[in-house]
Amino acid sequence: MQQTYTKSELREFLSNYPLFKPYSIGKFSRGAEAYADPAFLIEERFLHYCTNEHREAHFLLDMPQPQASYWKTQEEDVINPLVLNTNNCIDYVMHYRGKCISCQKHSVDFLLHIWSISALPSEYGNSLLYDEQTKKHIYSEIEPEIEVFIEKVGIYPNDNFFIDTKVEQFLYPESRELYRNAQKCLHESLGQGAYCYLSHVVERELLLLANDMAGINAVYEELIYDQIEKFKEKRDFHYIATILMQNLPKALHGLNANFFIEMYDLISLTPGTISDDEALEVSKTIHLNLKFMIYLLFEEKHPVVAFRELR
Q: Name the minimum Å distance from CB 50 to Zn ion.
A: 3
Residues constituting the chain: 311
Q: Name the minimum Å distance from CB 235 to Zn ion.
A: 39
**Contact with Zn ion (CB under 5 A): which of 15, 16, 52, 169?**
52
Q: Name the minimum Å distance from CB 47 to Zn ion.
A: 12
**Contact with Zn ion (CB under 5 A): which of 10, 14, 50, 108?**
50
Distance CA 90, CA 147 (A): 10
At 211, the amino acid letter reads N
Q: Which of residues 58-117 bind Zn ion (CB under 5 A)?
A: 100, 103, 106
- Whose Cβ is closer to Zn ion: residue 103's or residue 153's? 103
**Contact with Zn ion (CB under 5 A): which of 53, 147, 159, 276?**
53
- Whose Cβ is closer to Zn ion: residue 84's or residue 108's? 108
The alpha carbon torsion through 281, 282, 286, 292 (nearest 10 deg) reads 50
Position 118 contacts Zn ion (CB under 5 A): no
Q: Name the minimum Å distance from CB 103 to Zn ion.
A: 3
Q: Name the minimum Å distance from CB 104 to Zn ion.
A: 7
Instruction: Determine the angle formed by the axes of helices 221-234 and 238-247, rounding to 10 degrees.
Output: 150
Q: Which stretch in 40-48, 49-57, 65-73, 118-126 sits in contact with Zn ion by CB under 5 A?
A: 49-57
Q: Which stretch in 7-15, 44-52, 59-67, 123-131 sits in contact with Zn ion by CB under 5 A?
A: 44-52
Q: Name the minimum Å distance from CB 59 to Zn ion.
A: 8
Distances (CA, A) of 128 to 28, 279, 296: 11, 58, 54
The DSSP letter of residue 248 is: S
Convert 141-153 to b/e letters by CB count within 10 Å (16 or more is b): eeebebebbbbbe
Distance CA 151, CA 110 (A): 10
Q: Which stretch in 47-55, 64-72, 120-128, 152-160 sits in contact with Zn ion by CB under 5 A?
A: 47-55
- Whose Cβ is closer to Zn ion: residue 100's or residue 243's? 100
- Whose Cβ is closer to Zn ion: residue 85's or residue 104's? 104
Do 179 and 168 touch, CB atoms closer than 8 A? yes
Q: Name the minimum Å distance from CB 105 to Zn ion.
A: 6
Distances (CA, A) of 241 to 247, 260, 270, 308: 10, 5, 20, 20
CA angle in degrees (0–180, nearest 5) for 249-255-257 = 95
The DSSP letter of residue 143 is: -
- Whose Cβ is closer to Zn ion: residue 99's or residue 302's? 99
Q: Site residues (CB under 5 A) for Zn ion? A: 50, 52-53, 57, 100, 103, 106
